[in-house]
Amino acid sequence: LFTGWVDVPLTPKGIDEARDGGRAIAHLPIDEVHVSTLIRAQMTAMIALSEHGSGKTPVFQYPTDVEEGMSENEARMREWAQIRGEAGQDNLLPVHVAWQLNERMYGDLQGLNKDATREKYGAEQVHIWRRSYDVPPPNGESLELTAARTIPYLESTLIPAIGEGKNVFVAAHGNSLRSIIMHLDGLSKEEVLGLEVPTGVPIVYERTETGWQRKDDL
């Protein structure tokens, strides 16, 4: 299926992959976590963190400001979910939720079977929608449009945290992660088409004086 922003949980296979991925990075320090708004990314993070050696408790963070037009329940959640006092915070791991990390939105294709979609639109057209950089499906996003929201979040939030010396764990999706890796590795729009991001396999980057270095040995 073209899942996109359809908010489905992890499958049993996905749960196993998240657990295995968590074990692979259980020895690495983590100072904060960033996840998409979609439950499968949040499940991935929580399952992986349950294997982490720090023993810290993940705590979802909510903005403290109340915005105009916000529902009463949303406003109450922002106010009531705040941690009062500093006692015990050393054992907490902040988790930030960002819609910018959501999967590519597939528009009219969301929820459709891929084989049936090929029969309807033609295999070549579906391949173009799936693998091109700048051609979106009807009412959906291309990888270029996905990058237009992930990269600003990377530059405004993730990189500054890393600059403060924090180790940041991101749980997101195939295409949102592809766009971030494209930026970190300096890939062209042609090169990124061949980039595959396996599910449940940790990818670790380290910031160096010359840029970003991918660590193959965990």
What CATH number corresponds to the domain at position 84? Answer: 3.40.50.1240
Q: Per-residue pLDDT tens for 69-122? A: 889 998 998 889 888 777 668 899 999 999 999 999 999 999 999 999 999 999
- The pLDDT assigned to 88 comes to 66
> From residue 79, how far is each of 35, 83, 86, 90, 119 by CA, in Å?
21, 10, 17, 22, 50
The CA distance from 78 to 82, in Å, is: 7
Q: Does 39 map to a domain?
A: yes
188 located within any domain: yes
More confident residue, 62 or 176: 176
Q: What is the mean pLDDT of the chain?
A: 95
In a domain, 1, yes or no: no
Burial of 45 (0-12, 13-18, 19+ CB in 10 A): buried
Domain count, the chain: 1
Residues 6+ apart with CB under 8 A from 128: 135
Q: What is the pLDDT of residue 86?
A: 72
Query: Mean pLDDT: which of 38-42, 71-75, 117-121, 127-131 is highest?
Result: 38-42
pLDDT band at 41 (very low <50, low <70, confident <90, very high): very high
What are the pLDDT digits (tens) for 177-187? 999 999 999 99
Domain assignment present for residue 34? The answer is yes
Whole domain around residue 59: which residue ranges?
A: 12-215
Tokens of 21: 């991925």
Contact 190, 119 (CB under 8 A): no
173 in a structural domain: yes
Does residue 68 surpass a pLDDT of 90? no
User: Which of 140-149, 158-167, 207-216 is predicted with the least confidence, judged by mean pLDDT?
Assistant: 207-216
7 domain-assigned = no
Confidence at residue 190, expressed as pLDDT on a 0 to 100 scale = 95
Q: If you ran DSSP here, which 8-state letter would residue 193 be given? A: G
